[in-house]
Amino acid sequence: MSKKLEDELRPLLGKTISLEGKAFMLHDILIDEQSLVLMRLDTQHAIQVDQYGDPRRRSPEILVLPFLDKDSRKTSSTIQSIIETGIDLN
């Protein structure tokens, strides 16, 4: 990830953003994986399973978005949209 992209995303950590009409919180930036982690805010928590597939607890839906588009040349349109319109809805 470029330093510029990281600098644009870092201030959005913890902010509530709208993506496809759904409320998410920007939960984490995974630099090594070149991805954003979004946590869904406007639904009931889903049942989370452990490593063996056994249900253990309820947790929010997590969405991991790659920084780059499919050909890995430029920032994905979804990430660019988050940067441009990432506003706190609260």
Kind and range of the H or E run holding 83 = helix 77-85
Amino acid at the residue 39: M
Kind and range of the H or E run holding 46 = strand 46-49
Q: What per-residue confidence (pLDDT) applies to 86? A: 60
Q: What per-residue confidence (pLDDT) applies to 52? A: 94
Q: What per-residue confidence (pLDDT) applies to 54? A: 92
Return per-residue pLDDT of the chain as tens, 90 residues. Answer: 577 777 888 888 898 888 778 888 989 988 888 888 989 887 777 788 889 999 988 888 888 888 777 776 777 777 777 777 665 444
Q: What per-residue confidence (pLDDT) applies to 89? A: 43
